[in-house]
Structure 1
Amino acid sequence: VIMTVTSTIDGAADRTQSIDVTDFRTGGTTAIGAGESATLNFDELGLSFTVNTNFSASVATIRADNTGASDFGTDTDFNGSGLDSAAGNVVTMAADNGQQLANSIEFQVGGGNTANDRLSISLTSVDSGTLGTGVGGTETALNDATVDIATAAAAQSTVEVVTRAIDDLQRARAAVGTSQNRLDFAGQNLASTQENTESARSTLLDLDVAAEMTAFTSKQILVQSGVAMLAQANQMPQNLLRLLQ
């Protein structure tokens, strides 16, 4: 029993992945028990299904039927997922529902809330619809319609399209490399700032032993001198009484 998921972007099938779910049938090696669940991973699409014991029963029913008339569930729509074995066990994933890649990404690299404290990186599409269109995006894109080597003239035109596509790809890679260098420089600058801040903090908080010992010795000498002078002052009245006697 093969389960297939097709990702659909902007209404067109983009990528398909199939996995074998035969072992999930009731009595199979990976059958799901009561109260248990399992995850079906379609890693190429970034999609996963969490299923319970009802899925094992559905697989067993489909495997026993083997006519394509059954489906994973009680009707032709598996809990609203669109999975219908009568249509080949295919799920259509709406991949463009808020999941489109942003045109630019911003990184906070400073301590303020200004444009200078943020690093913006623009992203360039490098799919078959854009490669070959050139800097202005007005040339012919690289696709099945433009790649033609049936004749010498068509092959020459194809070489030009492929060359422009390579240039477009190199420009996109160069832009990514430039952004990586800027991020690396920003990271090094932040690391240097952090090190300087920690050094200043250490200077403010840590004890300067030599300076403190010097101050302690100075205060100690002053205290001892004061005690000695006080002792001499206490002896003056005694000396005066001796003279009077």
Structure 2
Amino acid sequence: GGSKEITGSQTDTLSFGQLGISVTLNSNFTATAAAGVDSGTDAATLTIAEETGQAAQLTFKIGSGNNAAQDDLTFDLTVTKSTTLGSGTGSNLSDVANFATAADASAAITVVSDAIDQLQTARSAVGVGQNRLDFAAQNLASSIENNESARSTLLDLDVAAEMTQFTSKQILVQSGVAMLAQANQMPQNLLRLLQG
């Protein structure tokens, strides 16, 4: 329970147990702000309503633009603990402690069964969010690779064009030197003819 503000270079890790998911938070996550983006600092924020069982909304920036529908990835997490899981009729797992009568045991079975269903639904939502994040990461990696390939192609074209132009100029210079050499020999040949 409660909140912990992360400052400076501190980090904290949220671990989702057997799902194998862990999220490392840094000082961009504030202690009390609602989910979304804090307009003053552009810091991503996270709020988990532990006591009420409400869904916590996670928002990740996955694009370079400002269009939330295309550039943000948002999904909800449901708080799952003994005080929030149960039948929804006022009983929850933390209330299931007394099995003195058959009616108590039957009521406990209903609460536990509903709690299992709610937990599985919450786990599936985490799985969906994880799959969406994996897909977004792969998509971004592919986009980066394509951009680098296009950049490399453009740079290679520039090098090829410059080499072609350099070779053309070099041939012109060599031709000019050869012509000058021929032109310097002409007066000497004329003098030889006159002397001979």
TM-score clears 0.5: yes
- Give per-residue Cα distances to partners, 1:89-124, cap 9 Å, x unaligned: xxxxxxxx9486262121111010111101112121
Displacement of 1:190:
1.8
Displacement of 1:180:
1.1
**Counterpart for residue 190 of structure 1:** 140
1:101 to 48, 53, 59: 48
Q: Which amino acid aligns with 1:170?
A: Q
Which structure has more helix as a fraction of its residues?
2
**Residue pair 2:83, 2:93 contacting (<8 A) in 1 also:** yes
**Counterpart for residue 76 of structure 2:** 122
2:91 to 123, 137, 141: 141
Distance in 2 (alpha carbons) for counterparts of 1:206 and 1:214 = 12
- Give per-residue Cα distances to partners, 1:127-164, cap 9 Å, x unaligned: 2332124xxxx444324545542222331222111101
Distance in 1 (alpha carbons) for counterparts of 2:106 and 2:58 = 39
Distance in 1 (alpha carbons) for counterparts of 2:93 and 2:133 = 34
Q: Which amino acid aligns with 2:63?
A: G
**Counterpart for residue 172 of structure 2:** 222
* TM-score normalized by the length of structure 1: 0.47
Distance in 1 (alpha carbons) for counterparts of 2:62 and 2:174 = 58
Unaligned runs of 5+ in 1: 1-6, 10-96
Query: Structure 1 residues 98, 240: closer, same or farther in 2, change over 3 A?
Result: closer
Identity over aligned pairs, percent = 63
Displacement of 1:170:
0.8
Unaligned runs of 5+ in 2: 3-30, 34-46, 50-55
**Residue pair 1:128, 1:141 contacting (<8 A) in 2 also:** no
Displacement of 1:238:
6.6
Q: How does 1:152-191 map to 2 (within 5 A)?
A: 152-191=102-141
Distance in 2 (alpha carbons) for counterparts of 1:148 and 1:164 = 18
Number of matched pairs: 147
Distance in 2 (alpha carbons) for counterparts of 1:169 and 1:180 = 16
Q: Which amino acid aligns with 1:223?
A: V
**Residue pair 1:126, 1:169 contacting (<8 A) in 2 also:** yes
Distance in 2 (alpha carbons) for counterparts of 1:189 and 1:239 = 75
Distance in 1 (alpha carbons) for counterparts of 2:178 and 2:109 = 103
Q: Which amino acid aligns with 1:110?
A: G
Distance in 2 (alpha carbons) for counterparts of 1:161 and 1:226 = 97
Distance in 2 (alpha carbons) for counterparts of 1:98 and 1:236 = 93
Q: How does 1:1-245 map to 2 (within 5 A)?
A: 98=32, 101=48, 103-115=56-68, 116-133=70-87, 138-146=88-96, 148-205=98-155, 216-234=166-184
Q: Which amino acid aligns with 1:226?
A: G
* TM-score normalized by the length of structure 2: 0.57
Displacement of 1:126:
1.1
Distance in 2 (alpha carbons) for counterparts of 1:209 and 1:201 = 12
